[in-house]
Amino acid sequence: MSRRPLLLTAACSLFGLVAWTGSHLAPETAKYRVDIKSHQVIDLSPVNQPAQTQDFGATGFLTISLKDSTGGKAMDAVLDSMKVDSTSPIPPAVADSAKGSSWHGLVSPQGKISGLTAGTKTTAGGQFESILAGFFPRVKTGAKTGGTWTDTLD
């Protein structure tokens, strides 16, 4: 009896297992648009002056990749671009320099990010680091791709 068919079957079975395992470990990648709006009120009534208000905002486009890891998912985030509005104190050239800022961390099964470190750090890109630190817990359970939500902090 020839062993060749048996070896061929075993080799094909092993290849199928390796191919399935490899595709299971492929990273999940999603793109996000993050709008930052700031409204500041400075109360100058103690010095008999009217209140001063300042409104400005920025929009960042993030690519976040998640890959299964021990204790959760390894996260890689890259700031693809950043735009500031006309009233922002951040000059457009500084916002442009934020392109390519990156961060790495671990997302727990509960959605908490830990060990967040900057791979490349820019002044304007730092605006998004604090947002990333709490990014995933803010997403409500059952959120659908393409959905939107608003979060307000006073």
Name the token pair of 34: 């993050």
Cβ distance 36 to 62 under 8 Å? Answer: no
The verdict on pTM exceeding 0.75 is no
Look at the block and give the residue holding tokens 């959905």.
147
How far, in Å, CA of 102 to CA of 45, rounded?
43
Mean pLDDT within 36-41:
86
Q: Which residue type, as a one-letter code, is found at position 71?
A: G
**Span 54-112, pLDDT tens digits:** 888 888 899 999 999 888 899 999 999 989 888 888 888 888 888 888 999 998 887 78
Per-residue pLDDT, 63: 93
How far, in Å, CA of 85 to CA of 12, rounded?
58
Q: Is the pLDDT of residue 24 over 70?
A: no
Largest CA distance in the chain: 103
Q: Is the pLDDT of residue 1 over 70?
A: no
Per-residue pLDDT, 26: 53
Name the token pair of 35: 């709008």
Residue 72: phi, psi to the nearest 5?
150, -135
Q: Which of 130, 128, 80, 132 is nearest to 106 (CA)?
A: 132
Q: Is the pLDDT of residue 154 over 50?
A: yes
- Specify the higher pLDDT residue, 93 or 132: 93
Task: Tell me the percentage of the chain whose pLDDT exceeds 70.
Answer: 74
How far, in Å, CA of 42 to CA of 137, rounded?
31
Q: Which residues of 97-115 are buried (b: 16+ CB within 10 A; e: fewer)?
A: ebbebebebbbeeeeebee
Per-residue pLDDT, 137: 55
How far, in Å, CA of 148 to CA of 143, rounded?
9
Mean pLDDT within 116-120:
85
Q: Which residue type, as a one-letter code, is found at position 31?
A: K
